[in-house]
Amino acid sequence: MKVLLDTHSMFWWLANDRRLSPLAREIISDGRNRLIWSLASSWEIAVKVSVGKLTIGRPLQQLFADIVTGQGVEPLPITHDHCARLSDLPLHHRDPFDRMLVAQAQGERLPVLSADSKLSQYDIEVLW
C-alpha cells in the first residue's frame, strides 16, 4: 500500500505517542507499505518552529533526514498540478498545509493517514 502521511502521524510515530491508532501503527511499521511524506509537511514544521509553536530539539535538516532516510519515507514535492487542485477545493478545512495534503492525495490518488476528521469531508480516502 502507498499512503500519504499527515504531519502528526509521523510525529506521533517518532514519539511512540499513544494517540497513534493501532491501524496507523500497523501501516507505518509494515515494511511492505510505501510511506509518502509531503514537502508541505516539512514546510509546516519549519513554519511552526520559526514562530515558536513547535520545538523539536534538533536541527530541522537532521529531522528531515531522519524522516526520509531513517524511516524509509519517500518525499513528495509540491507540483503545479497540486497547486491548481488546491485552488478548486471547498473550504471544509482552513489549514493551508492540510489543504495541500488533500490536493496531493487527490492528484496522486493516495489515501491519507490522519486523525483529522475534517479531511474526510473531501473526496479522498482517510485511514486511521
pLDDT value, residue 87: 94
Cell 473531501 maps to which residue?
A: 122
pLDDT beyond 90 at 69: no
Residue 126 pLDDT class (50, 70, 90 cuts): very high
DSSP assigned state of 73: P
3-state class of 35 per DSSP? strand
Residue 89 pLDDT class (50, 70, 90 cuts): very high
Q: What is the C-alpha to C-alpha distance for residues 24 and 43, in angstroms, rounded to an integer?
A: 22
Reported as a single tens digit per residue, the pLDDT across 26-52 is 999 999 999 999 999 999 999 999 999
pLDDT value, residue 82: 98
pLDDT value, residue 22: 98
Report the CATH number at residue 46.
3.40.50.1010
Give the cell for residue 117: 476528521
pLDDT value, residue 71: 80
Q: pTM for the full model?
A: 0.92
- As for how many domains the chain has, the answer is 1
Reported as a single tens digit per residue, the pLDDT across 6-18 is 999 998 998 899 9
Give the cell for residue 42: 516539512
- What's the chain's average pLDDT? 95
pLDDT value, residue 65: 87
Q: Domain range holding 51? A: 2-127
